Structure 1
């Protein structure tokens, strides 16, 4: 779907678009995956913890393997030394030759991982060895021999030979004293003549400590350590890759969250903008199904979004569809659609209202697979208020022209009226008292006076508004006007009630002109109740949003004049402020025109509500100055 995917909104039953109260936009986006709700720093902490664990495992694993290998070498060397001693002890009854002893060392040292077996004196010189090349050489130096301090308990250490593989050397003191005499009796030299020395020519074992050394080849251990190092390198490579992937994921998640937040803010702003847009907006897809409608369009069409969304526009809004087809706002031309500029149309909606609209059809240019536009957005501008204002302007222009003309005529009429009035008074004075001539002269005088009042009203209607504004309580002109007509109300049995808050804030008014306004309205109300009734006046306060507030806390002062008289027919209400329109036998039809003129001069408005047989209410809307509101609030 096109543009409506972004603009589509849910319309709740019970919304009142006519009030044009902006609704909070709800952003309808797919909920974020739950794993994205966690802080990305958890990923970083987890990666660091994993790296630390792997490092510790590799470190401890390497140390453990080295310790195990050392223990194995030491145990094997100890076992081999004990086997060698046991063999010598078991064969003490035999006559050992040099070759047999050498063969014994060679046989014991046949294991592939044994580098050599050697017997040394206290100075570290080799007396016998599995490798005959070592015989009579220094396996270890005297100083190193002292540091090793061999004992009957096997020990081990690593020996690094220049250019050769390191050797793990196990050493222990060799016990031969227990069978030394037996060897001397047989005249056999234990190891070799190079090992013995006799001043009498008799063979004997030297009276000194012998040490046996077993050297193990560490190549398998080094290969295992190399394999461990390679595994550790692989572990760290994998860990580095996981860390890099984690960081990349972190940046991607943060970017996704920022993008999603931006989309939410943009969508919320778009919905809020559509809700407060003073233009109606209706969107359709390629199949002409309604996909979006904003509150202003609901107000214009008189329909709720839930009644039209998803339906074909020709069924949901037949009046609009008919206007589109009749005016050619949207015409088909093969695969192209011609879109003219804004055109004025009159649409008939479901409740029978004929609404003048300025209609614009805008294609939504979202490419689709078939290359055509995805739909249309129709912009509706209500011209009803504009037409009403234009008619009001024309009426005001006619009234102004009429007023200027009437003023000119009034000036011309007043001069002969004065002469006629003087002649009528003269004829009345010279006519006999009670005669026909005196009666006719009296009638002429009365009619001339009435005509003079009409001329005065005409001049008042045409005269520019010059108000003497002062800060007064609106209750003051109310009291003055009520006192002027109190005798008439008492005569007709009309009950007068007044509802004025205390204290009442001051309003910038021309006291005399406002008294004139209220007097006209009071007289009209009294004349509408010839058989008695109730005349009620009240002062209220209202905010600009239309909500009634506490006294003095609103923006507008409302002054109601309400009667229980005959009422005004609904089809006549719009005419009552026109000059010379009256329903009274002796009325001039200029009273309410003057009332409206004076109220508008105070930057106010006048509102009429009437029901035939129940009465009429006139409401004056007068702006309340900010200073007056603040002063009243402080009180």
Structure 2
């Protein structure tokens, strides 16, 4: 027994191993106490040991049943399930302490003894027999529904378990003296069989896991349908992706999804291969890819297994890359072309002009256009870096972030007036989020025909913080705002630069929302991001 405990100790946290160890320990203790009762001459002490042995024997039976229950279901039992079974041995021990005669009587005959079970003892015997029958039934069911190494494991357990149970209950039906504890030999067979299974079939090392538990832990959604599109089963991930509330088994596709045309079409049509569709919700759009596979069950039935993957992050990244391509294409096609046209014209003029003062003015214009090109290039590089690098939002102090950016902008634009009113909240934002604030302030100054008056403020609403940049300019054209909202540029509608796109992308990458309110009296750029 001790050697078997030693072999299993390292695996004690695996499914069912703990209860098997408990059964082994209680069984060995039962045999030891029964043997001591024969060796101790004091009848009172021997009787107490025999009573105790029966309680420990019940604990062994309960433990073995719980072992079989865990082993065949592959799920760890909660104490809520275990407690009622363990309550029986506890009640038995209390009854023995209060009135041993209610359990059984012991008659000593020379070196031996005889036992007579009373009503309570017979009830406990029946309880133990029922547990063993249930355990054997579960093992036979497991044997019929498994294969390979797991089936071999169950087969070994059935054989040695039957031998041990027969030897334990033999004295109650055969003319065997009570003091001749043949159950000890049954336990010996069980221990030998377990050691063999450990060596031959990796018993407990590859102990079974609940298929339902695996089914629910799969990262993709799985929906199983009958040939009539009746839902047989759906895992937890499918419930999350399809916004189900449970209770779906047995329902038809029409009952479940009549309010959602996209999902209804997905599950009711004859789908082959993989397809992607979008599910629109109040505050977001979810993109799902579904793969359909037929499976055969029963007598000639062909059902359908739908594997559903959430590809929203992939689709979002595709959209971002597509938008980035459009913005880059527009910057090189439109902005850079315009600035290079200005520079070329200025240089041609300078080449043909003899008056120095005219040349100086034109060269100043060329330098200004060159600076704009460099700024476009810098922001385009920032946009490329933002889209390419998949950084997670991290905790940042908003007041320090704003103070650093505002100080930099005041040095660059000394004529502008920049006021701040920012609280001390920490926010969750991707690295470089300060560039979004900087772009908003720069846009407010550069595109303002009046002396720039900028206000940077923040407000908190629940779990989110809104950073606002207000100016007193002439506003942003509606078509530029429309481009940002539609996330698509073309030859007729396009932005004037990369700055607004940077603000939008930095905000969305931080898990927030970007908004622009613009009139002919000024513009407010708002970035709402999560509070840390």
TM-score, with length taken from structure 1: 0.40
Larger Rg: 1
TM-score, with length taken from structure 2: 0.46
Structure number having the greater helix percentage: 2
